[in-house]
Amino acid sequence: MCGISGIVSQQAISGDLFESIRNLEYRGYDSCGVAIVNRHGLVVRKDIGTVEEVNRRVPLTEIEGSVGIAHTRWATHGAVTQANAHPHTSCAADFAVVHNGIIGNYRYLREELVSEGHEFRSSTDTEVIVHLIEKYHRSMGSLERAFVKALGRLEGSYAVAMVSLHEPDRIYCARFESPLLIGTRADATYLGSDVNAFLGFTRSVIALEDGQYAILLPGQVCVKDIATRQMQAKTVLDVDWNVESAQKGGHPHFMIKEIHEQPQTVIQAGEVDTAAIDGLADMMARHRRTYLVGVGTTFYVAQMAQYYFSSLARTFIPVISSDEFRSLAQVDADTLVIAISQSGETYDTLDAIRFAKERGARTAAVCNTMGASLTRLVDHAIIQGSGPEICVVSTKAALGQIVVLLRVAAALGRLSGATDRAETVMRDLRALPDAIQQLLDERTGDIAALAKRHCHIRHWLFLGRGIYYPVALESALKMKEVTYLHAEGMPAGFLKHGTLSLIDEGFFTVILAPSKEEGALYTATMGNAEEVKARGGYLIGSLADENGELFDEQIRLPKAPPLLAPLLHLVALQLFAYFTAVALQRNVDRPRSLAKSVTVG
C-alpha cells in the first residue's frame, strides 16, 4: 500500500525525506510527492513515476525547509495521474495532507464540501480530508481542533499526516486501521508507514494506536486520543533491524538477496525464544479449536504448517484465508486464532483477528514486524526475527514463519506425548541451513539456465502431493506475481479430475517429487508425472533422486529428511521464479500492480 513519511527537524530535510520515501517505495510506486513548509510558503512537488524519476523531473531534494511530509502511492481511488498523487492541498494552499487507507464516505463528504464552495483537483478519496480540515479551521480557528473534527467525519481506514502554514513547525498525524509509526531522536522526529522510512535516522519507535493522533515537533512527540483529546502514554520500542539489512548488499535485486539470506532465516527462526513457542503450543492445547489464518503467501504457509501439525501433533488444524474468515469460521470463547503475517498490517488478516476478538476468542500471531498492528492486537505474538523483507514478493519471511510453526507443531507434539518425533525433527532442523546453503551454492547456476531456456513458456503447472501441495501453490504464486506468466498450483491427484485437458506441448509442468524413501507418496506423485508425460506434456522434476527417464529436465536438490525436504523445493522454485522474471526483464522487486503490505480490504 502507500508509503507515508514525515520529518520535523531543525535542519534542512528534503534530502532525508527523499531517502525516506525511496525506502518506502516497495509499498507503492505509481507516483509520489512531498510537501515542505518553508519561509516562502508551502512547497508541494509531485508527479507520476518512481521516486527517482519524479526527482529528476521536479527536484524533490532541493527544497528549503525543515518540516515536511511525503508519500509514495499505490492507486486505489483515482487513476495514476499527477493530480491524484499526494500530497493534496486545501483551496487556499495552506494545508497539505498525505494519506494511506480508504475513506468509505468520501463521495458524500465531497458533495458536501463542493456545495460549500471547495474546489477539488483530484479524483481521490484523500482530498476530502484536507478540505475538511480547511473548513473546520475556518470556523474553529484552532488547527488541532479542526484536525480532530475532520478525523471524526471520516469513515474507513486512514493513516494521515498534515503540514500547515498556520503552525509551520509541526506535523499532525493520526491513524485508524492503517499503520503509522513515529521515530524519535533528540533533535528530530520522524514519521513512517513502517520503520524503513526512518531506519537510517533512528531505531527508537513509537507505534501509534488506532484512534490516536500525534503532534510532532523536533525531538518531541505528543500523543492524544482522537475521541477525548486527552494525552496518552507512549511506549518507545527499540527496533533491532539495521540499515544494511534493508539494502541490497551487492545483489542486483532484493528478491535474490532475500532468497540467499534464507540459511540465516532458518537460524533466526530457530533462535526465537522457546518460551514463546511453547506458550503458543500450550494455548493450542487449552482450546477446543484452533484456526490458522493468512492470505496470499501466508495462507500457503498456514497450509504447510497444517501438515506439520497433522504429522507431529496428530492434530487437524483448519486453515482459512483471512478474507474468508468471517464467512467460514465458527468462533467462540474456546477458540484460538493464529494469524500469520510478514507485515502485521494486512487488512484482511487484521480483520479476521478483530472478528475473532469480538466473539471472545483468544488470538496469536507469527509476524516479522515488531510493533506492527497485528502484534499489538493479539494475546500472544511471536516475532520471527527474519529482518526486513523489502522485495514485494515474500520469500525469506515465509520460510521463517514455516520454521516457527514447525517448532510450534513439535512442541504441541511433545505435549501430546510424541516426544521422539519432535526431537527428531528438531535435530534435523539444525541441518537445514547447510542444506539450503548447498542448494544455493550448487544449483543456482543450473536453475538460472533452466529459467532462461524456458522463459518464453506462457503456462505453468506446479504439482505436489502431501505437504508438497501447498509448496506447489506457493511456487505458482511466486511464478505468476514476479513473471506475469500464467501459473497454477494444485494437488497432483487433482490433475486427472479436469486440468489434464490443458496439457499440451505449450503447457509446462513442474512436479515437486518427494524422495523414494517416502514410499507411497513418491509412487503416487510419479504416477501423476506419468499422466502428464502420456499427454505429451513437458515435465520438469524438482527432486532429490535422479530420474532422467521420466522427466525432460530436473532441478536436483540436496537430500533432506521428509518433513524438511519440501522447504528445499520451496527455495529452488523461488530461484526459478526469480530467474524467469530476470530473463523476461520484469521489475522483480516491484512487480506491476502489486504492493507490499495490503492495508485495504
Q: Which residues are catalytic?
A: 2, 596
Interacting residues of 222 by C-beta distance below 8 A, sequence separation 6+: 214, 215, 231
CA torsion, ordered 540, 546, 549, 555, to nearest 10 deg: 20
Helix 127-140 × helix 106-115 angle, to 10°:
50
| Own/partner long-range contacts of 519-527 (Cβ < 8 Å, ≥24 apart) | 521/465, 521/466, 524/465, 524/492, 524/493, 525/463, 525/464, 525/465, 525/468, 525/492, 526/550
State which residue, 262 or 346, has the beta carbon closest to ligand F6R. 346
* CA R_g for the chain: 25
Q: Is the CB of 76 or the CB of 82 nearer to ligand F6R?
A: 76
Q: Which one, 295 or 526, has the nearer CB to ligand F6R?
A: 295
Q: Quote the least distance from Cβ 323 to ligand F6R, whole Å.
A: 10
Q: 349 vs 528, which CB is nearer to ligand F6R? A: 349
Q: How many residues bind ligand F6R (CB under 6 A)?
A: 15
Q: Is 376 exposed, middle or buried (0-12, 13-18, 19+ CB in 10 A)?
A: middle
- Assign 526 to helix, strand or coil: helix
Smallest gap from Cβ 591 to ligand F6R, in A, equals 9
Angle between helices 127-140 and 143-152 (to 10 degrees): 130
- Restricted to residues 391-410, the positions that interact with ligand F6R (CB under 6 A) are 393-394
The minimum distance between CB 467 and ligand F6R, in angstroms, equals 18
Using rule CB under 6 A, residue 599 touches ligand F6R = no
Task: Give 172's contacts (C-beta < 8 A, 6+ positions apart).
Answer: 143, 144, 147, 161, 162, 163, 164, 213, 214, 215, 216
Closest contact distance (angstroms) between CB of 357 and ligand F6R is 18
Cβ nearer to ligand F6R, comparing 167 with 481:
481
Nearer to ligand F6R, 94 or 481 (CB): 481
d(CA 488, CA 530): 19
Q: Do residues 330 and 289 touch, judged by C-beta distance below 8 A?
A: yes
Residue least distant from ligand F6R (Cβ): 296
d(C-alpha 521, C-alpha 543), whole Å = 13
Site for ligand F6R in 260-299 (CB under 6 A): 295-298
Contact 425, 563 (CB under 8 A): yes
Cα dihedral angle (216, 217, 220, 223), rounded to 10 degrees?
Answer: -20
Smaller CB separation from ligand F6R, 374 or 436: 374
CB 149 within 8 A of CB 134: no
Residues 325-384 that bind ligand F6R (CB under 6 A): 341-343, 346, 349
Beta carbon of residue 479, minimum distance to ligand F6R (angstroms, whole number): 11
Interface with ligand F6R, residue 311, by CB under 6 A: no
Nearer to ligand F6R, 317 or 393 (CB): 393
Coil, strand or helix at 429: helix
CA dist 180 and 194 (Å) reads 7
How many other C-beta atoms lie within 10 A of the C-beta of residue 98?
A: 35
Residues 442-481, interacting with ligand F6R (CB under 6 A): 477, 481
Nearer of residues 127 and 345 to ligand F6R, judged by Cβ: 345
Q: Rounded CA gap, 529 and 510, in Å?
A: 9
Q: Read off the C-alpha cell for 84.
A: 491524484
Q: Name which of 127 and 261 has its Cβ closer to ligand F6R.
A: 261
Q: What does the alpha-carbon distance between residue 422 and residue 376 come to, in Å, rounded to a whole number?
A: 30
Output DSSP code: residue 78: S
* 597 binding ligand F6R? (CB under 6 A): yes
The C-alpha cell at 376 is 499489538
Three-state SS string across 283-326, please? HHHHCCEEEEEECCHHHHHHHHHHHHHHHHHCCCCCEEEHHHHH
| x-marked contacts with ligand F6R along 528-557 as a string, rule CB under 6 A | ------------------------------
Footprint of ligand F6R on this chain (CB under 6 A)?
295-298, 341-343, 346, 349, 393-394, 477, 481, 597-598
